[in-house]
Amino acid sequence: MHSTTPTDIVFIHGMWCTPAALAPLAEFFRVRGYRCHLPSLRFHDQTQPPAAALGTTSLLDYAADLEALIRSLPQPPVLIGHSMGGLLAQILCARGLGRQAVLLAPASPAGIHALSPSVIRSFAGVMARWGFWKKANRLSPAAARYALFNGLPAAQADAAIEAMCYESGRAAFEIGFWLLDARHASAVDAAAVTQPLLVISGAQDHITPAAVHKRIAARYAQAEYRCYAGHAHWLMAEPGWEKIAGDIAGWLEKAEER
């Protein structure tokens, strides 16, 4: 970075996790001179039991909390969002917030059909519960290993499963069943997104396959897409994640120079 004022980065975590999932990535950038922020999405500061209101918490609630944080900063920050956090970053960019955004294995906005056999298998346990759209949920260990942590060594996957928290059924509904969502919570006005974007996927991602990420990147004329072989969904912690982090750092440097 060439400015004497540190650039802010807001890291936005995804479903079933806390900001701790992105802490190593944030530390990578902190030692490189960035001022890093690791907000917790609403009701994601505890592993159990879930808050009663979590089940009906909307993507719009998450976005409102993040918008308040971003507007409190002295300058527009870089947004780095993982999974659902990547979708929230797109929503925030469409509101004119953020200078650049990095979308790590992002969830898809309304209009992109993301269902595939691996996606259905990933969410089957959640969607099988009647009324899932208004209940807090958490993946079973077996589902989590398949959907989220298939790129992690077994012991690391065990620790990640232990650290999982509950997630909003409403948010899952808004992403997966956007056609039925009257509030269009996962909709993103692509024309309003003018910031440079970097979309990153792992070739072995089960819960949001690389083909979906490629379609997300294609929505934005200014987006760059990169797919990493040997990686899956947990891009910020899988073996070799430092290479991805270094590539992000290089991309941010170039984006600042444009």
pLDDT at 167 over 90: yes
- Higher local confidence (pLDDT), 16 or 47: 16
Look up the CATH superfamily of 8-257. Alpha/Beta hydrolase fold, catalytic domain (3.40.50.1820)
Mean pLDDT taken over the chain: 91
Q: Which of 155, 160, 130, 131 is nearest to 143 (CA)?
A: 160
**What was the pLDDT predicted at 133?**
82
Nearest to 149 by CA among 47, 247, 27, 233: 233
Token output for 141 = 């260990």
What dihedral do alpha carbons 156, 159, 165, 167 form, nearest 10°?
30
Domain extent listing, the chain: 8-257
Does residue 117 or residue 70 have the better pLDDT?
Answer: 70
pLDDT in tens, 181-215: 899 999 999 999 999 999 999 999 999 999 999 99
User: Closest Cα to residue 11, out of 91, 147, 104?
Assistant: 104
pLDDT band at 1 (very low <50, low <70, confident <90, very high): very low
36: left (phi over 0), alpha (psi -120 to 50) or beta: beta
Distance CA 182, CA 179 (A): 8
127 pLDDT above the threshold of 60: yes
